Amino acid sequence: MDIKNPLYKNQGIHVVLALFTAEEGKVKVFLIKRKNQPFKDKWILLGGACYNNEDVDSAMKREMLEKAGLKNIKFKMFNVYSKPDRSPVCRMIAIAYIGVIDANRVKFLKETTKTQDADWFLIDRIPNLGYDHQEILGDAIEFLKGQIFDTNILKDLFPKYFTLPSLHKAYESILNKHVDRRNFRKRLLQKNIIIDTGKIESANGKKPSKLYMFAD
Amino acid sequence: MDIKNPLYKNQGIHVVLALFTAEEGKVKVFLIKRKNQPFKDKWILLGGACYNNEDVDSAMKREMLEKAGLKNIKFKMFNVYSKPDRSPVCRMIAIAYIGVIDANRVKFLKETTKTQDADWFLIDRIPNLGYDHQEILGDAIEFLKGQIFDTNILKDLFPKYFTLPSLHKAYESILNKHVDRRNFRKRLLQKNIIIDTGKIESANGKKPSKLYMFAD
DNA sequence: ACAAAAGTGTTGCATATACACCCATGG
DNA sequence: CCATGGGTGTATATGCAACACTTTTGT
């Protein structure tokens, strides 16, 4: 049945993703440069329309696959953006998600998307974004800050096994402040967010590191 | 500009409200009986379309005013529902909110809506609801459980001044378990969620109760 | 041997829980 | 005076923050 009432016809539903990764202990977000109006040449978050035959989570999965070739991403909805004029084209609400992937998949992503204008940006060096994506990304980082010590939301920020110092650097990068190493380890172990695997990383630097994995 | 692509035309945005109150220490939710198909004669949560000239919060405010005559309600978004077939009429996503009002306003609401088929139901005695509102209401109660000790989300569940035993009963009703009286008081006072006003309720029962108010 | 990075434990403080008796009022 | 319901404090356990030295490896 076609919607006729002008009060609420021509509405659209978008999904938008703040996709994070960590490289060398620095947290980065994935952005795409627009090729067309509106916001031509501006960087924006990955996203797209939700189709009529899918729920918003499925739309987000499809968009990640189509626009970045990514499958099996861990992601979580965190807010809705709905100012009437947030898109100059038509009335469009955005369901916003956080996603995380590990650095190995980033390398793969860089190869497969090198013809596109897409890149990773340090979260403390973000350019001006198009639409209201600046606000969305800011909210995403705030949401992350509130979740990292209580959930395994960062599972998939690293490969299955990772060293504690690398995770520690990622936390400090997200929280944007110093975190005590000893308390950090205790806290995550006590809450069963990470697990000591007993394995050791064959040293590339100086003293070898123990390898951990996320629980769940 | 009209949306033409059948993949995403004729989408609609709804707002849905789980409105709570407390009467005699029992928490209740506001439901409306549908008069038309689909789900004729089923009870559902208050809700309606989001118009093109408003964001979803504004739509929620307008719906509360139009459908229940209520202004200045404290409310908070908590989830999005978007299964493609959740409405048999057309593709419709729901932005879901929690709201709370005090018992005096409930009395007013009962008078102004007595011609409508609307009523309050104890949260442990909910009838079968239309659409996916059973799931939405269940999620709303779970969300409330997680918020009541950390936020003043229940501000407005009671009139400005309330007794601690009445608040205590509401907490037990929401959490569906016994809560120690002494710890309950300490916790809420220490976290500055409620404030001792120094006033005393002129006793109707036995020993008079102190009156408290929510902070903020 | 030394430089560089990783590992580890204790103490104090704040917060949460468990638990029982006294007090004020109305009838 | 007694029944009803409201008010209160202490002791224990748990979670979080502050803090510095030792260990392992490569050069």
**A82–B3: do the CB atoms touch at under 8 Å?**
no
Pick the CATH number of B6-147 from 3.40.50.1000, 3.10.450.40, 3.90.79.10, 3.40.630.10: 3.90.79.10
Per residue in B170-209, pLDDT (tens digit) is: 999 999 999 999 999 999 999 999 999 999 987 766 899 9
Report chain C positions within 7 A of protein CB atoms. 3-10, 15-20, 23-26
Residue nearest to nucleotide D8 (CA to C1'): B182
Which residue among A1, A8, A13 sits closest to B89, beta carbon to beta carbon? A1
DSSP, res A105:
H
Please give, one letter per residue, the 3-state secondary structure of B64-101.
HHHHHCCCCCEEEEEEEECCCCCCCCCCEEEEEEEEEC
Best of A61, A82, A89, A132 to mutate (most B CBs within 10 Å, chain B): A82
Which residue among A8, A12, A53 sits closest to B50, beta carbon to beta carbon? A8
pLDDT of residue B168: 97
**Residue ranges in A69-163 assigned as alpha helix (H):** 103-112, 133-147
For residue B109, give the 3-state DSSP assignment: helix
Mean pLDDT to the nearest integer, B104-127: 81
- B28 closest CA partner among B94, B78, B103: B103
- The answer to whether the beta carbons of residues B40 and B130 sit under 8 Å apart is no
CA of B183 to C1' of C9 (A): 33
DSSP string, A80-99: EE--TTSSSSS-EEEEEEEE
pTM of the model: 0.93
Domain residue ranges of chain B, discontinuous segments joined by +: 6-147, 160-214
Which residue among A12, A84, A95 sits closest to B11, beta carbon to beta carbon? A12
Q: How far is B79 from B90, CA to CA, in rounded Å?
A: 20
Best of A2, A14, A15, A52 to mutate (most B CBs within 10 Å, chain B): A52
pLDDT of residue B3: 86
Per residue in A25-49, pLDDT (tens digit) is: 899 999 999 988 899 999 999 999 9
Is the domain spanning A160-214 CATH 1.10.10.10? The answer is yes
Question: b/e per residue, B160-178, with b = 16+ CB within 10 A?
Answer: eebbbbbbbbbbbbbeeee
Query: What element of type H or E holds B112?
Result: helix B103-112
pLDDT of residue A190: 94
